[in-house]
Amino acid sequence: MAPSLAKLRANNQNKNASSKNPQTSAVSFSRSTGSRSTGSCSLRSASYKKAQVRKMTELSVYLRWMLLLPSYTSPAFAVAYAATGKSIMSVVSQALLPICFALLTLYGFSAPREKNHPVPASAGFWERPRELRLLLSGLVWFLCVNGGTWYGNVYSDPNGNAATGWFVLSDMLWLIMPMGVAGVYFRRKIASLSDEVLHSYIFSSIFRIGLTSLVPILYLTFDTIKCVDAARKKSDASVIDYASECSGVLLPQASICLFLINLLVIKIAAPLSTTSFSSVELMSLDLPYRVLAQGFLTTLSITGNLFLYANMSDEAPAQPIVLATAVLSIASITSALGIEVVSMYLTIRNKTDQTVESAVSRGISMGASSARGGDWGEDGGADSWEQAEEGGSEKRGSQQGVEMSSVSKRNAGSTKITIHNLESPLNTEDGKDELFA
Q: What is the mean pLDDT of residues 311-327?
A: 88
**Band of pLDDT at residue 195, cut at 50, 70 and 90:** confident
The span from the CA of 365 to the CA of 384, in Å, is: 11
Residues 378 and 408 occupy one common structural domain: no
Q: The domain containing residue 410 runs over which residues?
A: 397-437
Q: Does 277 map to a domain?
A: yes
Would the CA dihedral through 282, 283, 284, 285 be positive or negative? Answer: positive
The span from the CA of 323 to the CA of 338, in Å, is: 22
- Reported as a single tens digit per residue, the pLDDT across 380-395 is 333 444 444 444 444 4
- Reported as a single tens digit per residue, the pLDDT across 44-53 is 555 444 444 4
Q: Within 10 Å of residue 74's Cβ, how many Cβ atoms?
A: 25
pLDDT value of residue 51: 44
* CB environment 387-403: b (16+ within 10 A), e (fewer): ebbebbeeeeeeeeeee
Cis peptide before 118 (omega within 30 of 0): yes
Residues 383 and 423 occupy one common structural domain: no
**Band of pLDDT at residue 404, cut at 50, 70 and 90:** very low
Residues 426 and 346 occupy one common structural domain: no
The 3-state DSSP class for residue 406 equals strand
pLDDT at 180 over 80: yes
- Give, to the nearest 10 degrees, the angle between helix 320-348 and helix 289-310: 150
The span from the CA of 409 to the CA of 417, in Å, is: 11
Phi-psi category of residue 21: left, alpha or beta, with phi > 0 → left and psi -120 to 50 → alpha: beta
Backbone angles phi, psi at 420, to 5 degrees: -125, 130
Instruction: Tell me which amino acid residue 434 is.
Output: E
pLDDT at 255 over 90: yes
Q: Within 10 Å of residue 149's Cβ, how many Cβ atoms?
A: 25
- Reported as a single tens digit per residue, the pLDDT across 353-371 is 555 566 566 556 555 444 4
Residues 294 and 418 occupy one common structural domain: no
Residues 385 and 434 occupy one common structural domain: no
Q: Does 152 map to a domain?
A: yes
Q: Does 50 map to a domain?
A: no
Residues 281 and 411 occupy one common structural domain: no
- 361 near 55, Cβ under 8 Å? no
Residues 240 and 202 occupy one common structural domain: yes
Q: Within 10 Å of residue 336's Cβ, how many Cβ atoms?
A: 21
Residues 373 and 407 occupy one common structural domain: no
Residues 385 and 403 occupy one common structural domain: no
Residues 417 and 338 occupy one common structural domain: no
Q: Within 10 Å of residue 419's Cβ, how many Cβ atoms?
A: 14
Q: Does 247 map to a domain?
A: yes
Residue 2: exposed, middle, or buried by beta-carbon count in 10 A (0-12, 13-18, 19+)?
exposed
Q: Which of 255, 246, 240 is nearest to 227 (CA)?
A: 246
- 421 near 401, Cβ under 8 Å? yes
> 419 has which bridge partners?
404
Residues 322 and 360 occupy one common structural domain: yes
The span from the CA of 7 to the CA of 4, in Å, is: 5
- Reported as a single tens digit per residue, the pLDDT across 54-101 is 568 899 999 999 999 999 999 999 999 999 999 899 999 999 999 999
The span from the CA of 338 to the CA of 229, in Å, is: 36
The 3-state DSSP class for residue 40 equals helix
Tally of structural domains, the chain: 2
pLDDT value of residue 279: 84
Instruction: Tell me which amino acid residue 135 is.
Output: L
Q: Which of 256, 247, 253 is nearest to 302 (CA)?
A: 256
* CB environment 243-277: b (16+ within 10 A), e (fewer): bebbbbbbbbbbbbbbbbbbebbbbbbbbbbbbbe
pLDDT value of residue 14: 59
Residues 153 and 240 occupy one common structural domain: yes
Q: Does 84 map to a domain?
A: yes
